[in-house]
C-alpha cells in the first residue's frame, strides 16, 4: 500500500482552502483524470483550488521551490503535456460560477465550468455561446485555444468573443485583463492558451439564437462516396455564413451505453446548424436531402440542442486521434477521404469528419486576439476508440492514415484545440504572431513557470 505524499505538501495545504492531492490519497486517481483514459497524468501533486487566492498561493509556493504549474480545468487535452514530474497540476474544476446577463448578452463563468452549464441557461433566454460539439468540454481550454463550434462560420472563434479574462500571473497577482487593461496579455491569451497564467474566470459574448434549424441526415455507410461528394459540391458552391455543415463517417463500437440504433452500426452522416428558419434551411441542404437519407432528424431546436448533434462521448474514453486543416479541396480530396475512412478502407475509426470552415473564421474581427482567424476550408478530425491497450498503435495508424491521405491539401497550419499530441507550436501561428507570443511569454513568465498543453 502506498503511503500518502501529503506531508511533503503540508505547508501548501495549510495555506489554501482547496485540497492538495498526492499519490496514496483517495482522490489521487479522480483528481488527475484525463479525458483520454489511456493517458495517465503523474504530477508531483494535484492542487484542487477553491478560489483565486488559492491559485496565487500555489503559484508563489511553486515559484519558490522550482516546481512548475500546469493549469487544467477538465483534462480534455491533457495528452500533449510531456511530463508533469516536477509540476503541480492546478485543477480549477471547483470554480463553477455561472452568471448570464441576458440584457447585455454576456456570460461570466468560473474557469472550471463545462459548456453545458452555460449553453443550457443561455438557451432558455434565447441566447447561444460559441460552444463546440461537446457539452462536457471545458470553457477555459476551448476558449484559450480558439474554439470552433456550430456557429463559427457566422460568429467566428470563441476566443474572439471573450470580453475579459481573470488570471493569476507568474508574479502571483490576480489580474483582470480586457480590451482596455493589459491589452498585450489579453491579445496573447486569446489563442496562446495556458502559457500566461492560471485563469480563474472568463467573460464572453452570447449570441441571439432563439431557435436553430439543425439535425443530421443518416445514410448507409456504403453510400459514403456519393454523399460526401454531394456535400462537398454543395459547400464548394458557396453556402451562407449562417450555416455550418459537417460530413462524416461513423463506426459506432458495440457498446451497451450507446442507443440500440447506433451500437455496432456504421453510417455516413451530414449534420448542420443553420441560424434561420426551417424552409430556408431545408432549401439550402436540398441537394443532400434529395439523396434520400434513411433517417432525417432536422427540425427547429433550442441552441442548447447543438451540444448533442455530433454525439460526442460525454465521459472519458480510451482513444487515439489525428487532425488536419484542409485548403482548396477538390473531388480528389473527397476520394482520398473516402479511400482512407470509407467502405473498403478497413477503418474502424468511430468518427472521421470534415467540418466546413470559412465565413467568419477567415475574417479578422476588430480587436481580435492571437488566434484571429483559422485557415482552411475543412477541418478533418479522425478518432478511434481503443478497445484494448494493444490496439492503440493500429487505431492511431488508421487516424493518421486519413490525415496523411489529405496531405496534398494541407492548409499549412494546425489548430491547437484539435491537436492531441505534442506538436511544434510554431505550426499553429504565422511567424509574426509566434514571435510576439514568445516575447510576451518571456515578459509575463520569465522563468517558464507555466506548463501548458501546447507550450510557446
Ligand atoms: C469530445 C471532444 C470534443 C471537442 N470538440 C471541439 C470543438 O467542437 N471545437 C473545438 O474548437 N475544440 C473541440 N475540442 C477540443 C477542445 O477544445 C480542447 O480539448 C480544449 O483544450 C479542452 O479544454 P479543457 O479546458 O476542457 O481541457 P484541459 O485539458 O483542462 O485544458 C487544456 C489546456 O487549456 C489550458 N487551460 C485549461 N484550464 C486552464 C486554466 N484554468 N488556466 C489556464 N489555462 C488553462 C491549459 O493549457 C491546458 O493544458 C473537443 C475535444 C473533445 C475531447
pLDDT at residue 4, as a whole number: 61
pLDDT at residue 167, as a whole number: 98
Number of alpha helices (DSSP H) and beta strands (DSSP E) in the chain: 14, 19
pLDDT, average across residues 329-346? 98
Categorize the per-residue pLDDT at 33 as very low, low, confident or very high, splitting at 50, 70 and 90: very high
pLDDT at residue 82, as a whole number: 84
Query: Cβ(345) to ligand 1 under 6 A?
Result: no
pLDDT at residue 445, as a whole number: 98
pLDDT at residue 2, as a whole number: 54
Categorize the per-residue pLDDT at 124 as very low, low, confident or very high, splitting at 50, 70 and 90: very high
Strand ranges of the sheet holding 106-110, from the earlier edge strand across to the other edge: 98-101, 106-110, 198-205, 162-168, 174-178
Categorize the per-residue pLDDT at 257 as very low, low, confident or very high, splitting at 50, 70 and 90: confident
Cα–Cα distance, 89 to 21 (Å, whole number): 10
Query: Cβ(33) to ligand 1 under 6 A?
Result: no
SS3 235: helix
pLDDT at 83 over 90: yes
Cα–Cα distance, 48 to 397 (Å, whole number): 36
Query: Cβ(138) to ligand 1 under 6 A?
Result: yes
* CB atoms near residue 220 (< 10 Å): 15
Residue nearest to atom 46 of ligand 1 (CA): 194
Cα–Cα distance, 57 to 51 (Å, whole number): 10
What is residue 170's DSSP assignment? T
Taking only the tens place, the pLDDT of each residue in 47-82 is 999 999 999 999 999 999 999 999 999 999 999 998
Query: Cβ(191) to ligand 1 under 6 A?
Result: no
Q: Which atom of ligand 1 is nearest to the CA of 157?
A: 11
CB neighbour list of residue 413: distance below 8 Å, 6 or more residues apart = 325, 374, 375, 376, 427, 428, 429, 430
Pairing type for strands 378-385 and 351-356 reads: antiparallel
Residue nearest to atom 8 of ligand 1 (CA): 132
State the chain's mean pLDDT as an integer: 97
Taking only the tens place, the pLDDT of each residue in 285-335 is 999 999 999 999 999 999 999 999 999 999 999 999 999 999 999 999 999
Taking only the tens place, the pLDDT of each residue in 393-448 is 999 999 999 999 999 999 999 999 999 999 999 999 999 999 999 999 999 999 99
Query: Cβ(312) to ligand 1 under 6 A?
Result: yes
pLDDT at residue 256, as a whole number: 87
Residue 2: exposed, middle, or buried by beta-carbon count in 10 A (0-12, 13-18, 19+)?
Answer: exposed
Query: Cβ(139) to ligand 1 under 6 A?
Result: no
DSSP notation for 255-288: -TTS-TTTTT-EEEEEEEEESS-HHHHHHHTHHH
Q: Which atom of ligand 1 is nearest to the CA of 198?
A: 42
pLDDT at residue 389, as a whole number: 86
Residue nearest to atom 41 of ligand 1 (CA): 199
CB neighbour list of residue 396: distance below 8 Å, 6 or more residues apart = 320, 322, 384
Query: Cβ(168) to ligand 1 under 6 A?
Result: no
Query: Cβ(84) to ligand 1 under 6 A?
Result: no
pLDDT, average across residues 177-184? 98
| Closest residue by Cα to residue 146 from 130, 125, 164 | 130
What is residue 384's DSSP assignment? E
Q: Dihedral sign, CA of 135, 321, 412, 191?
A: positive
Taking only the tens place, the pLDDT of each residue in 387-402 is 998 999 999 999 999 9
Cα–Cα distance, 214 to 298 (Å, whole number): 5
Query: Cβ(148) to ligand 1 under 6 A?
Result: yes
pLDDT at 105 over 90: yes
pLDDT at 5 over 90: no
pLDDT at 243 over 70: yes
pLDDT at residue 329, as a whole number: 98
pLDDT at 1 over 60: no
pLDDT, average across residues 156-173? 98
Cα–Cα distance, 374 to 82 (Å, whole number): 26
pLDDT at residue 349, as a whole number: 98
pLDDT, average across residues 78-100? 97
Q: Which atom of ligand 1 is nearest to the CA of 145?
A: 21
Query: Cβ(417) to ligand 1 under 6 A?
Result: yes
Q: How far is the CA of 315 from the centre of ligand 1 (A)?
A: 14
pLDDT at 131 over 60: yes
pLDDT at 192 over 80: yes
Amino acid at each position: 500500500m502506498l503511503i500518502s505524499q501529503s506531508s511533503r505538501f503540508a505547508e501548501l495545504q495549510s495555506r489554501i482552502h482547496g485540497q492538495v492531492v498526492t499519490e496514496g490519497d483517495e482522490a489521487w486517481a479522480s483528481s488527475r483524470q484525463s479525458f483520454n483514459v489511456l493517458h495517465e497524468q503523474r504530477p508531483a501533486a494535484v492542487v484542487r483550488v477553491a478560489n483565486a487566492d488559492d491559485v496565487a498561493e500555489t503559484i508563489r509556493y511553486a515559484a519558490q521551490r522550482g516546481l512548475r504549474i500546469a493549469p487544467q480545468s477538465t483534462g480534455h487535452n491533457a495528452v500533449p503535456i510531456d511530463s508533469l514530474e516536477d509540476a503541480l497540476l492546478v485543477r480549477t474544476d471547483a470554480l463553477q460560477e455561472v452568471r448570464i446577463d441576458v440584457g447585455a448578452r454576456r456570460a461570466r463563468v468560473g474557469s472550471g465550468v463545462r459548456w453545458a452549464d452555460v449553453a443550457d441557461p443561455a438557451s432558455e433566454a434565447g441566447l447561444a455561446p460559441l460552444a463546440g460539439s461537446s457539452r462536457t468540454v471545458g470553457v477555459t481550454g476551448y476558449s484559450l485555444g480558439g474554439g470552433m463550434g456550430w456557429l463559427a462560420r457566422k460568429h467566428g472563434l470563441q476566443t474572439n468573443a471573450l470580453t475579459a479574462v481573470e488570471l493569476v500571473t507568474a508574479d502571483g497577482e490576480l489580474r483582470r485583463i480586457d480590451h482596455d487593461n493589459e491589452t498585450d496579455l489579453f491579445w496573447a491569451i486569446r489563442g496562446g492558451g495556458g502559457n500566461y497564467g492560471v485563469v480563474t474566470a472568463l467573460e464572453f459574448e452570447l449570441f441571439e439564437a432563439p431557435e436553430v434549424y439543425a439535425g443530421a441526415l443518416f445514410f448507409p455507410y456504403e453510400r459514403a462516396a456519393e454523399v460526401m461528394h454531394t456535400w462537398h459540391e454543395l459547400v464548394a458552391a458557396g453556402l451562407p455564413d449562417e450555416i455550418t455543415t459537417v460530413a462524416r463517417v461513423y463506426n459506432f463500437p458495440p457498446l451497451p451505453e450507446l442507443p440500440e440504433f447506433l451500437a455496432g452500426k456504421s453510417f455516413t452522416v451530414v449534420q448542420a446548424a443553420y441560424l434561420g428558419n426551417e424552409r430556408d434551411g431545408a432549401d439550402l441542404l436540398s441537394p443532400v436531402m434529395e439523396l434520400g437519407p434513411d433517417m432525417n432528424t432536422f427540425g427547429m431546436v433550442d441552441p442548447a440542442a447543438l451540444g448533442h448533434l455530433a454525439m460526442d462521448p460525454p465521459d472519458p474514453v480510451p482513444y487515439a486521434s489525428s487532425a488536419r486543416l484542409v485548403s482548396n479541396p477538390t473531388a480528389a480530396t473527397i476520394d482520398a477521404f473516402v479511400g482512407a475512412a470509407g467502405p473498403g478502407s478497413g477503418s474502424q475509426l468511430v468518427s472521421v469528419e470534415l467540418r466546413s470552415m470559412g465565413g467568419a473564421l477567415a475574417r479578422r474581427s476588430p480587436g481580435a486576439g492571437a488566434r484571429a482567424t483559422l485557415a482552411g476550408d475543412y477541418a478533418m478530425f479522425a478518432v478511434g476508440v481503443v478497445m484494448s491497450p494493444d490496439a492503440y498503435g493500429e487505431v492511431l495508424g488508421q487516424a493518421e492514415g486519413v490525415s496523411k491521405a489529405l496531405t496534398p491539401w494541407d492548409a499549412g497550419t494546425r489548430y491547437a484545440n484539435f491537436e492531441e499530441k505534442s506538436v511544434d507550436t510554431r505550426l499553429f501561428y504565422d511567424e509574426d504572431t509566434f514571435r510576439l507570443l514568445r516575447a510576451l511569454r518571456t515578459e509575463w513568465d520569465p522563468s517558464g513557470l507555466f506548463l501548458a498543453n501546447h507550450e510557446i
